[in-house]
Amino acid sequence: MNYDERTREIATWLHGFLHRYKPPPEYDIATQKQTLDLFVNDINSRIRSPIKLDQIKSILNKVDSKIRSKQSSRIWPSSKMFIDATVEASNDLAATTTLDVPRATLDTYAITERRIKNGEPISDIYIKSSIMRQKLLDNTNITNEDLKNYEVDNTYL
């Protein structure tokens, strides 16, 4: 799931969850909306990436249960309650599944940048594909000048 999909899923769940509670009486509509956005960001930032839809739903179901077991009033739970419950639920899921999170990730841009700086061979995709070339330029300190040594007849797609 990408960031927008995660945010949308969390916001949908949060709306349903908070429907059972009342906002603090001192909150006007603008403050309520701002608080909801903060809740979504607090929850989202405590869930590992990458994650699948069924895994995020599982985490949110556990967050629901954990907060309901601790919340003693009919007023919205605090950010801290959402954060703590999300961390616990994420850890519970991580203990039982892999979450599809690689142990170590390769930064292909950093590797390619190092190879270019050392004059070593690189994948043709960074020369032949204008999209991949631009991504390399955007994600490293490499310049078009650095790539000229790798071009055939100084042309690329």
Residue 155 lies in a domain: no
Per-residue pLDDT of the chain (157 residues; tens, 9 = 90+): 888 899 999 999 999 999 999 999 999 999 999 999 999 999 998 988 788 899 999 999 999 999 999 999 999 999 999 999 999 998 888 777 654 445 455 678 888 888 898 888 888 888 888 888 888 888 888 888 888 888 765 444 4
Query: Has this prediction a pTM greater than 0.85?
Result: no
**Domain-embedded: residue 101:** no
Number of domains into which the chain is organized: 2
> In this structure, is residue 40 part of a structural domain?
yes
Same domain, yes or no: 89 and 113? no
- Residue range of the domain that includes 135: 108-150
48 lies in the same domain as 125: no
Name the residue with tokens 């405590």. Answer: 46
15 three-class SS: helix
**Is residue 102 a part of any domain in this protein?**
no
d(CA 131, CA 59): 36
Question: Does 71 lie in the same domain as 44?
Answer: yes
